[in-house]
Chain A
């Protein structure tokens, strides 16, 4: 179980291998990678900058991870979140869950992402191709995605 906040990119293959190395009790590994999109409607994105609350970010990610291990039987989990300035196509976040069976690994990965998006203290600002800056606003759909886990009975 570990969490990392870093400026550098991550290698999904290397991270997954490190997580499962020398273990024979893992039957399913799920990875989720969040990537910077160039933008939908409106001006296209030049870059995105992520700031965070050092100290609280790590604690909050650990709390989210801890909650997942209470809900599902997980052999290993990893959360890596990048900060700093990123460009379209760059990786933002990696979540890896490992369990004996795929159902638990899939559910835990989705739970980690839904909770992370509404709890971990990160903020995105975007610079459009025309140079204008704006702070990304939170989405109600993210709150709803996280809320459904509190309605679900744990496992």
Chain B
């Protein structure tokens, strides 16, 4: 499945890019699966996702938990806890 992945804040800095299109294997079914799959892609991903519990995610621009199923989402975003306001 081809999806767009976005990275924000220090995740963008560690990964070294703000977005990319990736082909996810069929066995990657949840947000947590995507993080585990990304971690195996290289040292920059390994470092960005070293503490998955502090990484937040959105599917098609809606906040989700790591257990959320991808359900055909087109856009997955990873970011630290938000600090606006």
Interface residues of A (CB under 8 A from B): 34, 50-53, 55-56, 59-60, 81, 92-93, 113, 116-125, 135-138, 142
Contacts and interface: CB of A to CB of B under 8 A. Distances in A.
A53 B8 contact: yes
Interface string B7-31: 0111000000000000000000000
B84 A122 contact: yes
B67 interface: no
A125 B9 contact: yes
A123 B63 contact: no
B82 interface: yes
A122 B62 CA distance: 14
Given A51-B8, A53-B61, A56-B58, A122 B77 contact: no
Given A53-B61, A121-B58, A121-B79, A93 B9 contact: no
Interface in B43-75: 58, 61-63
B85 interface: yes
Give the size category of B's interface with A: 10 to 19
Contact of B77 (A56, A116, A124): A56
Nearest 10 pairs of A and B residues by beta carbon: A122-B84, A138-B81, A56-B61, A117-B85, A123-B9, A136-B83, A124-B83, A120-B84, A135-B10, A116-B85
A52 to B, nearest CB: 7
Given A51-B8, A53-B8, A56-B77, A138 B82 contact: yes
Given A60-B61, A121-B82, 18 more contacts: A34-B85, A50-B84, A51-B9, A53-B77, A113-B85, A117-B84, A118-B82, A121-B79, A122-B82, A123-B8, A123-B80, A123-B82, A123-B84, A124-B83, A125-B9, A135-B10, A135-B83, A138-B81
A121 B84 CA distance: 7
Nearest to A50: B84
Given A53-B6, A53-B77, A135-B9, A59 B84 contact: no
A137 B82 CA distance: 8
